[in-house]
């Protein structure tokens, strides 16, 4: 196999080790279902209205989730390197996605399909570990969603921005300001004002 692909698969396996450790027999079955995928800046991982067929791990790159309402895009979430990306409800239920997922730069991913998951769950070699992998990734996502729901319910845009600052999030360096503003539910001008207020030296 191509050394470049082997290197990415090794990264993938090491990344998964944080969640669940596959032994060599299990891994050799699992990796047959993994696909390398490259998307050019502004291409789509998922389009609203279509079924999201894959879950990807971003090896290098970034993506943004958005909804369209009355012709306006509303940015809802970002994913960076070493994060899983998918329109999960669409993927899990194989129904049309409400969100679109667009990559913000040239992006390299390793993906698996819904069909692959079904086969791996049915294969006696991988069944137990795939259940565990599925549980742990889903539980991780629940924690992320709870944080987002809490943030929507209890925080103002300025507080949400301050939270991002406190986390020293790479989002702030990597994501164009107009998408960040859109994510916070404010105009780019309002974001500039907030940034000015926060960063202005105390007199």
Binding residues (CB under 8 A) for its own copies: these are 67, 69, 74, 76, 88-89, 92-93, 98-99, 127-128, 131-132, 134-135, 138-139, 141-143, 145-150, 152-154
Give whole-number Cα distances, 35 to 43, 44, 112, 134, 172, in Å.
17, 16, 6, 18, 30
**Cβ proximity to its own copies, 69 vs 203, nearer residue:** 69
The H or E element that residue 133 is part of is helix 127-154
Query: Token pair for residue 15?
Result: 């990344």
Residue 96 sits at φ, ψ, to 5 deg, of -60, 140
Label residue 51 exposed, middle or buried (CB < 10 Å: 0-12, 13-18, 19+).
middle
Q: How far apart (Å, rounded) are the C-alpha atoms in residues 159 and 54?
A: 34
Query: Smallest distance from the beta carbon of 129 to its own copies, in angstroms?
Result: 9
Query: Smallest distance from the beta carbon of 143 to its own copies, in angstroms?
Result: 5
**Cβ proximity to its own copies, 142 vs 189, nearer residue:** 142
Query: Token pair for residue 131?
Result: 């259940």
Query: Smallest distance from the beta carbon of 6 to its own copies, in angstroms?
Result: 29
**Cβ proximity to its own copies, 8 vs 114, nearer residue:** 114
**Cβ proximity to its own copies, 8 vs 161, nearer residue:** 161
Query: Smallest distance from the beta carbon of 62 to its own copies, in angstroms?
Result: 19
Query: Smallest distance from the beta carbon of 61 to its own copies, in angstroms?
Result: 23
**Cβ proximity to its own copies, 143 vs 202, nearer residue:** 143
**Three-state secondary structure call for residue 141:** helix
Query: Smallest distance from the beta carbon of 44 to its own copies, in angstroms?
Result: 18
Residue (of 113, 96, 94) closest to 47 by Cα position: 96
**Would you give the DSSP letter of residue 155?**
-
**Cβ proximity to its own copies, 17 vs 38, nearer residue:** 17
Query: Token pair for residue 125?
Result: 């070699």
């Amino acid at each position: 196999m191509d050394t470049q692909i082997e290197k990415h698969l090794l990264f993938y396996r090491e990344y998964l080790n944080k969640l669940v450790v596959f032994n060599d027999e299990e891994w050799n079955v699992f990796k047959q279902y993994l696909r390398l995928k490259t998307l050019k800046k502004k291409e789509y991982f998922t389009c609203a209205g279509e079924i999201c067929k894959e879950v990807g791990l971003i090896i290098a790159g970034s993506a943004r989730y958005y909804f369209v309402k009355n012709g306006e895009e509303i940015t809802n979430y970002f994913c960076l390197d070493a994060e899983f990306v998918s329109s999960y409800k669409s993927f899990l239920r194989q129904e049309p996605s409400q969100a679109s997922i667009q990559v913000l730069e040239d992006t390299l991913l390793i993906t698996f399909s819904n069909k692959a998951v079904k086969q791996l769950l049915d294969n006696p070699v991988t069944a137990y570990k795939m259940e565990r992998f599925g549980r742990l990734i889903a539980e991780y996502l629940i924690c992320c969603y709870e944080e987002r729901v809490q943030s929507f319910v209890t925080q103002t845009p300025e507080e949400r921005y301050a939270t991002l600052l406190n986390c020293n999030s790479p989002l702030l360096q990597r994501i164009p300001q107009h998408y960040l503003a859109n994510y916070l539910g404010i105009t780019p001008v309002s974001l500039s004002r907030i940034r000015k207020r926060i960063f202005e030296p105390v007199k």
